[in-house]
Chain A
Amino acid sequence: MYYPEPTTIWESIQYSPLGIFIAESTWAFPTIETIHVIALVTVLGTIFVMDLRLLGVASKNYPITSMSRDTLKWTWGGFILAAITGTLLYISKTSSYMINPFFMGKMVLLAIAGLNMAYFHFVTWKTVANWDTSPVVPMGAKVAGITSLIFWITIVFFGRAIGFTLGIYDCYMVGQGDDGFIVSMLAGIACAGA
């Protein structure tokens, strides 16, 4: 198949041999996507278990450190696999993803969810010995739990929305009608040089 000369850094990624392979292969994209789904339900499932403990909704009598030990390695393992497979999916349609508000929104939400988790582990976690076995956890831990739940639920919705809106937004259509603030802003990144 013929591919035009890349005009943006995103097209250079997309028209790389790996990007072209994933896009053209009949099995690569669905296979990577399937692994992405298995990885993300592992992340979701283990995060829900930990968040519900932090919120005092479930496993109230199970120490928080034990719950963290049970779940965290699965959360991280799943997350790393989801990040690798997500990157491969991204490589195959980079320019379409870069101008998609749901994709960029998902990346922002992931970053905030990561910051929330980092704050919990590096700050709130310091005093865990005081509330490890208590069904009542400090406000900071509860906030971390509810924030994590809300963000991950939204991330799933955005992730699904990407698949339904990919191709609706396109650099060649920007500037020809009412694009809206977010799409115009994303076009500044996604279509630079195009």
Chain B
Amino acid sequence: MGDLLFNITDWMRGTVLLDWAFWMQETAFSLFMVENFWNVPIAQAIHILAIGAAFGSVLMVVLRVNGMAGAGLTFEQTAARFVPWVRWGLLVIVLSGLAMIMAEPVRNMINAVFWIKMIALIVMVLVSLSWIGSVRSAAQTAGAAYIGTGGAKATGWLIMALWCLIIVCGRWIAYVPV
């Protein structure tokens, strides 16, 4: 596994990604991120806080579909409470993530795990959007008694698993051999 990831990273070194990373490194914003010792840890702390807010909100929606939370509420009420927190949370995650990429462009852009994380993030967002749409229409008539089908419940847990996979990749960007 380590060898495979290293080989992918090694291949990336010969692509245009490296030129982009070098260009990013020279931008004013990149220099700003590295000139103060605390900028990167602050960006990371904001990243984690936003992940907490979004992760907790997704968990509450998944638990509602599983009949394990939000008793007495319709799915629409649960979604109205938590989905905006996922959206805004994701926006903060992306912005703080961009700041971290700009701080260390080469370490991120020339890193197989970083790109696996980006693919997992896109898959997670697409699966979530399609899931929430289908659950919404299925839940409309059931009212507060709504509980998801086996497929809807399992997809909810799959989304949680994808969040965890993204977190795993996030941490291993720092440790994978490059």
Q: Which residues of A contact B (CB under 8 A)?
A: 30, 33-34, 37-38, 40-49, 58-59, 62, 66, 70-71, 74, 153, 156-157, 159-161, 163-164
Kindly supply a per-residue 1/0 record for chain B positions 107-123, scoring 1 wherever the CB is within 8 Å of any chain A CB and 0 otherwise: 00000000000000000
**How many residues of B sit at the interface, in one of the four size bands?**
20 to 34
Distance in angstroms from B1 CB to nearest chain A CB is 10
CB distance from A66 to the nearest CB of B (A): 6
Counted as pairs of residues, one from A and one from B, with CB atoms less than 8 Å apart, the total is 84
Please report B residues at the A interface, Cβ cutoff 8 Å: 37, 40-42, 44-45, 48-49, 51-57, 59-60, 63, 68-73, 81, 164, 167-168, 170-172, 174-175
Given contacts A34-B167, A70-B63, contact A157 B52 (CB under 8 A): no
Which of A41, A59, A153, A164 is in CB contact (< 8 Å) with B41? A164
Inter-chain CA distance A83–B53, complex, in Å, is 20
Would you call A34 and B168 a contact (CB within 8 A)?
yes
- Knowing A34-B171, A70-B63, the reply to whether A157 touches B41 (Cβ < 8 A) is yes
State which of B40, B45, B55, B68 has its C-beta within 8 Å of the C-beta of A45: B55
| Contact call B72/A49, Cβ cutoff below 8 A | no
Extra inter-chain contacts (8) besides given A45-B55, A46-B59, CB under 8 Å: A37-B167, A37-B171, A38-B164, A41-B51, A41-B52, A45-B53, A45-B59, A161-B41
- By secondary structure, the B interface counts as helix
4 closest A-B pairs (Cβ-Cβ)? A45-B56, A44-B52, A70-B69, A30-B175
Contact A49 B56 (CB under 8 A): yes
A43 to B45, CA, bound (A): 15
CB distance from A64 to the nearest CB of B (A): 13
Q: Is the CB of B49 within 8 A of A74?
A: no
Is the Cβ of B81 less than 8 Å from the Cβ of A44? Answer: no
Complex CA gap A146/B48 in Å reads 19
Q: Do residues B167 and A38 form an inter-chain contact, with CB atoms below 8 A?
A: yes
Can you list 21 A-B contacts with CB-CB less than 8 angstroms, sorted by A residue number?
Answer: A30-B171, A30-B174, A37-B170, A40-B48, A41-B55, A44-B56, A45-B53, A45-B57, A45-B59, A46-B56, A46-B59, A48-B56, A49-B57, A49-B60, A70-B63, A70-B70, A74-B59, A153-B49, A157-B42, A161-B45, A164-B37
Known: A37-B48, A157-B45, A160-B41. A58 touches B59 (CB 8 A): no
